[in-house]
Every structure is written in C-alpha cells, then in structure tokens.
Amino acid sequence: MGDARHGDRQRWIETAQVAAGDAIRATWERVERLGTIGPRSRRARAFRRFGSGSAICFPVAALYGEEYIELGAGCIIGPYCSLSAGVMPGQVLDHSPVVTIGDRVLIGKGSGIVGHHTVEIGDDVFTGHHVYITDANHGYEDRSLPLGKQFAPTRPVRIGSGSWLGHGTVVLPGSDIGRNVAVGAGSVVTGALPDFSVAVGNPARVIRRYVDGEGWVRVDAAEHAADHAADQAAGDG
C-alpha cells in the first residue's frame, strides 16, 4: 500500500512539473510578444525613423540614442541585442542619423550595433547570432590611462545591401562591405570588401569573387599579398 501511495505521489509531482513548465513557457512567450518594440510602441516614437512592420525583439540588452537611429521597414532585431548611438544615454550628437538600417534587415540574437558617427546598413542584410558592428574603438595613446578611458577617432562603417554576416562576425571602424558579400562565421572585418565576394578570417580576406563573363573565381594567396602590399603603401603615403 505504501509503495502504491508513493507511486501515485510521484506521478502527481511529475504531472504538476509538466503543467508548470508548460505554463512558464506560455507566459514567457506572451511576455516576449508584449515586450517586443513595434511601430506602434511608445519607445518606437523616440526613433528618428521606425519603419512599418519592423520589430525589436524582447528582451533588449541595451537601447539608447534612438533619436539618431533610423530603422527601415520590415526589419527584425533579434532578442538580447544592443542598438545605440553615442557613448551613453542622453548624449547630444552633432548630426543625425548616426545609425541607418535599411529595409528588410535581420539582425541575429545577441548582436550589437554601436554607432558614434556613421554606421550604414543597406537593405536585405542578414546576420547570424552574436555579430558586433561599430564605427569606434578604444585608443592607446597614453600608457598612464586605462584603455577604457581612451578613444580612437571614429571611422565610418558601411554594409552593402544584400550581404550576409555569419555568426560571431565583428565589423570594425573603417569597414566598407560591398553589395551581396558573404562574410564567414567568426571573421573580423577591418577594411573594404568588394561587391559580390566571399570573405573569411581575421582579418577578413576575400577568397572568392564573381567576375562578369567568368562566374565565381578563387582569389589566391599571391593576390592577397599584392593587396596587402598596396594597403601598406597607401598607409605609408
């Protein structure tokens, strides 16, 4: 009899746990829906532009400087993302917009877009999760100061329409990514990537390009070396 009562109690506990789990998940899904920022949300009205059909999913990691941000139509900014213009909330910037996001853009979960002067993302750009895009970085001019208190000059960032940034891609100041460019997961973009190309690595290097009349062609190490030498010569000049 005791074993039977113990078995009944165990089954009741398991049933209650399943029901509680279902209730928690249903509640969280409702919280996510209600917490998402859409065009009719009060928070959306703070943006310089917030396009129809766009959504910033809940929860948001950080969001400020909305008056300097333009978000196009039909965009989805995934949950746990950071989207900001300026160093801190309430900062007055000298021009607007600072961050421009085109139409039908999808930004993966846990990503960050941090603009201080100019970040431009074209239409139909998709990213994987945990991508980071910024036009500013910390400097290291004074060894007596913590690096976190030193800032390098901002450099504009542009990501062309139709491009794809793989999981964990980092786009650093001065990056100029062309149209329909595929950037491999974990890459670090530091400069220019031409239209219709595939790039991977740290720093990201083009490994394939589409050439009219030839189709897709591989880019060999010799071409990389020549490009690197040209970049160095330009820097020295």
Q: Which of 129, 138, 167, 228 is catalytic?
A: 138
- Answer whether 163's CB lies under 8 Å from 187's CB: no
**Residue 95 known to be catalytic:** no
d(CA 2, CA 6): 6
Mean pLDDT of 124-145: 95
pLDDT band, very low/low/confident/very high, at 208 (cuts 50, 70, 90): very high
Is residue 222 over pLDDT 50?
no
Is residue 163 over pLDDT 80?
yes
- Answer whether 164's CB lies under 8 Å from 184's CB: no
Distances (CA, A) of 23 to 27, 59, 154, 197: 6, 19, 48, 47
Nearest CA among 30, 86, 39, 99 for reference residue 58: 30
Average model confidence (pLDDT) for the chain?
Answer: 91
Please enumerate in sequence order all residues whose Cβ is within 8 A of that of 72, keeping only pairs 6 or more positions apart, or say none.
49, 51, 54, 101, 102, 103, 104, 105, 123
Other Cβ atoms less than 10 A from the Cβ of 144: the count is: 4
d(CA 113, CA 83): 5
pTM beyond 0.75: the answer is: yes
Other Cβ atoms less than 10 A from the Cβ of 168: the count is: 19
